[in-house]
Structure 1
């Protein structure tokens, strides 16, 4: 099923609405966008809004029912687009007088057809893969459409996504709403708390889980029991007997099978209408990357900083929330010094990312995951880096994994159900540490760092980011 989706960061969406609906006169803006196009069976096209271009009102003619822009201004913008790196344009205007469902007017139809014809006739000579949409904003609703040049027919945009706390999903008024049925009996107790609309929204999400180990196996079952119906699970490991103490649902008879396939067998009997896609693969696989960029949310249960950084870059480039779940036990001289369950929530343009000020790990440790084994040994020999032997397995227990998953699940629920603006005012959670026989809970909430190159220069780049080229091979 081919779908067209428009994604905004909350900051950009709020800015655009404030510009277009500043008063009772019509306003016009262009959006410079990048694209995310998946090549698997869904063939979705996502417009990732990067920049807003709005003309000075002294240069255009506006009234309560009309806005007219000189051809020279539009041609100048098109030339800027042709010479730049962006891959798509969206032409937006407002009907500020419309309090109900907003629609394209007859004048809009005529103007948009001319605009689309010019774009797909002239602009695509210079950028053959460029695409365009138009949108109209009312006070409470939005209409959006594309165009098929060959048939001269307008097409519907399926969804508008605003990435923030909470996530916001808007169905354009000119698109027929796809109603999702929910098993009212199974989810009755959740619906009592969070409402039927929220439960339906959860059933529409495509969630990708990277990692099917001790933490990932608990997460997979938790997501299905919450009501996620479309789940992608990625892991190349097989279950070992040493995993059984903490692997959710694992039995002796499962040892030797791929973890993702065991999970699929365990999850299908839990709920109706599940769609589970599994990859017996590492994260560093082009087909896997293609599925990830088509996700509504990505959850990481990985033990590699290289994998975390790839997911971080994917989240920023494709405007996908990324939630990371981990736990650890530090033992010194036979005594437990620290128990920790760490969760990180990366919401593009709204929170810290993994690369901001070494909040989550030191860059020396992070860089260690990107070099070959021989380089690692040489760096350790020369004392350039001090790291533990990664061949030695770290301690792990089921209750600590459960603690980490439970806390992250609350963050996940809030991100899509929005029962608080910011869950406990945090994006980084160190749930529990044990130091000197005492316990502490640390909460941190951080905005993107102005000096972080990822947060400042790599948001909403889409396929232009070519993230997969940086990580295509391990080592």
Structure 2
């Protein structure tokens, strides 16, 4: 099975600082990883174990030797929890392939790791180069090597190191004609990255349909679109590509958008999920993607997306629009917020974008509407928004901004560092941007779960009784 590796920006920075201490010699570290078993085997870095430089038996510019006794506690933890083990080491000279010495070392180490960790899980070896680029391979119990197709870093920037690009091995497909103007703006490498990405969009209404339209026309390789609702007459003012015939037939929103993308013929694969995100099938489909766009107006759904992206080490882009009007129809405020959420940094909860009170109230409304109505009437539940006004021109502005935020994380075209724009508020009423920087403080709700991947109880949430293999 093809395999990839994901880690956070914090993991990548720690690895680089340890593997390149400035003395020009190789160094080594290991990671304990959760997994996502879907179309690909995705290894997800949960914990790093840095092998002290002074504890290595030998360190030179071309080799590093160390005793496996140094990682026995980590191997015991991997066996206990069913985790994968990934070895990292550096090539200070920038050699972009595995050396003969690497082959010999991995051929001896990994059969021993497979013997220690008796679960049927993949283990891997990764090389980091001085510029931060990485390439790797899985190693089975017989010492057979298979390339990691890609290594993804979900950090301030989204780095995607494809094996064929870093090593020069394999065939790189030419760009399709429709994508060549994108390449003029963002370069061939970024445009090719888009073609390999699998992107989930949760919510396919006013902002979601416009986000989807942009993504497939940018050449994103695969889209997973999630929304349980059908097209209604009331939606036709803001959902792209929907018709009155779709509303009359009560067609699923995701079905309409799927058919539009296929009919356009730009080559994007589409998986429509006409279910709530709270269905385990929908969660599994989102977890199979590389990143997520949240286009929902529910605090509970935002909480769940944030949890999924922590467990599965995924970047999360969230867009929300507020158009307030009084009883007389006068607009009092037109504004919106964009969020870029890294798996192990601040979250929608710690930023105050959603509250646990809202999450609990909306959960009660979804699971037990009658009880929710009684609690709301009695005053136990407050400040849960009902339907708001929606206008396509406003949605288009903010949908464009969140897709451009995505492009800025993939291809850094801004003057300032990306972490200066963790949250961006924009008031159309005042024509002002209000950026807020990334705090750098891991969220206590989500950060402990980074890289855990599939667990016996899906996302460790009792509501999801369809467990996953650990």
TM-score by length of 1: 0.87
Structure 2 matches for 1:80-229, cutoff 5 A?
80-83=77-80, 85=81, 87-96=83-92, 98-105=93-100, 107-124=101-118, 128-140=119-131, 142-149=134-141, 152-172=143-163, 176-184=169-177, 186-229=178-221
Cα distance in 2 for residues equivalent to 1:174 and 1:147: 18
Unaligned runs of at least 5 residues, structure 1: none
2:388 pairs, out of 394, 398, 422, with 394
Paired residue for 2:298? 304
Change (3 A) 1:232 1:178: farther
2:345 is the alignment partner of 1:346: no
Paired residue for 1:234? 226
Q: Please list the CA deviations of residues 347-382 of structure 1 after superposition, one character each: whole Å capped at 9, or x if unmatched.
A: 2234x211115x213332232111122332232233
Contact kept in structure 2, 1:289 and 1:468, CA below 8 Å? no
Contact kept in structure 2, 1:87 and 1:129, CA below 8 Å? no
Cα distance in 2 for residues equivalent to 1:71 and 1:233: 45
Structure 2 matches for 1:251-266, cutoff 5 A?
251-255=243-247, 256-266=250-260
Contact kept in structure 1, 2:135 and 2:150, CA below 8 Å? no
Contact kept in structure 1, 2:310 and 2:447, CA below 8 Å? no
**Mean CA deviation greater in 282-291 or 65-74:** 65-74
Cα distance in 2 for residues equivalent to 1:142 and 1:333: 58
Cα distance in 1 for residues equivalent to 2:153 and 2:185: 24
Paired residue for 2:24? 24
2:407 pairs, out of 397, 410, 413, with 413
Paired residue for 1:34? 34
Cα distance in 1 for residues equivalent to 2:358 and 2:135: 48
Q: Please list the CA deviations of residues 126-175 of structure 1 after superposition, one character each: whole Å capped at 9, or x if unmatched.
A: xx2343212233435544222233x5422221111111232111134568
Paired residue for 1:365? 358
Deviation at 1:470, TM superposition (A): 4.6
Contact kept in structure 2, 1:208 and 1:232, CA below 8 Å? yes
Contact kept in structure 2, 1:171 and 1:177, CA below 8 Å? no
Contact kept in structure 1, 2:157 and 2:418, CA below 8 Å? no
2:439 pairs, out of 414, 432, 447, with 447
Change (3 A) 1:337 1:76: closer
CA RMSD of aligned residues (A): 2.5
2:49 pairs, out of 49, 53, 57, with 53
Secondary structure of the 1:100 match is coil
Contact kept in structure 1, 2:26 and 2:64, CA below 8 Å? yes
Q: Please list the CA deviations of residues 39-71 of structure 1 after superposition, one character each: whole Å capped at 9, or x if unmatched.
A: xxx2x1111112221233443312314333235
Paired residue for 1:78? 75
TM-score by length of 2: 0.88
2:11 is the alignment partner of 1:12: yes
2:263 is the alignment partner of 1:269: yes
Secondary structure of the 1:11 match is helix
Change (3 A) 1:94 1:406: closer
Deviation at 1:293, TM superposition (A): 0.9
Deviation at 1:448, TM superposition (A): 4.2
Change (3 A) 1:81 1:180: same
Deviation at 1:272, TM superposition (A): 2.4
Secondary structure of the 1:453 match is coil
Contact kept in structure 2, 1:25 and 1:62, CA below 8 Å? no
Secondary structure of the 2:117 match is helix
Deviation at 1:16, TM superposition (A): 0.9
Contact kept in structure 1, 2:361 and 2:384, CA below 8 Å? no
Cα distance in 1 for residues equivalent to 2:181 and 2:312: 34
Deviation at 1:446, TM superposition (A): 2.5
Contact kept in structure 1, 2:358 and 2:384, CA below 8 Å? no
Secondary structure of the 2:185 match is helix
Deviation at 1:34, TM superposition (A): 1.6
